[in-house]
Structure 1
Amino acid sequence: MSLRVLTALPVFNEERHVVDVIAEVKKYSDEILVVDDGSSDGTAELLKTIPGIHIVRHEQNQGYGAGLRTAFTYALAGQYDVLVTIDCDGQHQPALIPEMAAAVYDCPDHPADIISGSRYLKVFPGASEPPIERRRINLQITEWLNHQFSLNLTDAFCGFKAYRVDCLARLRITELGYAMPLQLWVQAAAQKMKIVEFPVPLIYLEEERSFGGSLDIAAKRLAYYQEVLDREMSSLQLAQTKKCESTPASGHRPLACCPN
């Protein structure tokens, strides 16, 4: 099966990495989209010198989630089969792009909706040690998602993913910051999307890389993540309540409407 695969990189002030990373991605992906989220360094100028890539620029910085949302919209409009997302900080291995994209349709029974990279599913030789606070927060959020939705995730935050593009139309992304993946997990789980984890190496090149502002403080970052999860769960519960109220009395109510 020949797949139309788009590889998207959300970038913000990545002049140190963007040329080298895109050069490596080009070896493994025919079509590349770079979403420049309002970079204020030399990223935009460097991107103009790279031939054969698609570029969408946000004039103002909106956030990591905004970059991914733009990539989703672009992939849907272009009617691609698979969208692969990869970060531009050099911490992912582009050589895995073809295998990850193919995994979407290699699943038994029916295709996967999301192939999600996991840095903790398998230990690769020479793997980095994650910063302690980042690992602790990842564990806490991943365990919460698993408990709430009976998922079997090992890594809730890896940006290296492959999506079956058709399923992206079912997502309503409104969280534009770093917690966007958490909103995505809640929606994907609620819609019973097929999620498969894919082992990727754990590589940290810049352990002190900034999240920006107060999010560099672990406790505030965790509070932000929890706020987004709480908000998304409230929206989900409200939607389920409305669905229950609109169900005819003589009909069978969906299981999701029956509180435990």
Structure 2
Amino acid sequence: MPKPKSKGSKPGKVEAVAPPPAPPSWPPFKPALPVADLSPVPHPLTSKVVLIPSFFPRSLCRDYVSFLKTLPLQTTPGRPKRGDAVRVNDRFQVDSQDFATRLWEQTGLKEALLEGDMEEQWGGEPVGLSYNIRIYRYSKGQFFDCHYDDSNNLTLPLDPPVPVKTTWTLLLYLTSSSDGCVGGETVFYPRDRRSSREEIAVPLETGMLLLHKHGDDCLLVRSPNLSATTIITKVERSLQARNGFSVRIFALDDESYGQFSNPSYTSILF
């Protein structure tokens, strides 16, 4: 599907807005991170996808899988708004500066993205992660169809505050085929059309971080059906210049079955 400009919605009834949820008490990073050298590896078929293996150890992935099951999730409606991708899933959304900061500063991610000659790869100087966290859970029959991740303009509350634009999405896989997952790989289409001959499929790997460009440079992306639990963390990265990252975590329930793709905020699926 193309990347159309969003149109303003028609005036309608103003509904009461529920107060945002308080951030949960995220589990500590134990053992201390990183547990391995974090070396960003560009995908051999596209410079818009970068992989970092062993970002989370298996034990920490298991801790987060257990934790995510305790959070309150709501099922999204099956009919999307005009221009949105079709999806049916359970989700929880929260702004958590603490969690985004910990991911950026206490995991080795900041150093991994700043070292060497990678700044040209990122399109600017990485300065942090989006604080908007989304948690998605996919059960049997639920899915997130092909779509693009938008970029977001943010101001990071640093000293002094830094205006940024998110430009990359981060996905952290908490489960994989070694944990009993079947399917669920992230699939990219470089020519803005769904074609099995052109698809670039990245299989699940427990603890691996996947980064992909979003906004105007986003590839069409989806995930094919899976038939067992899978969990991924999703994040947006913030860059000066003024660019940024988005953080997200994804997971799927036991016997889950569906498709998911990458929204443009920090998200968690399980």
TM (normalized to structure 2)? 0.24
Query: Which of 1 and 2 has higher RCO (CA within 8 Å, sep 6+)?
Result: 2
> Structure 1 or 2: larger helix share?
1
- Which structure would you say has the larger Rg? 1
Q: TM-score, normalised by structure 1?
A: 0.24
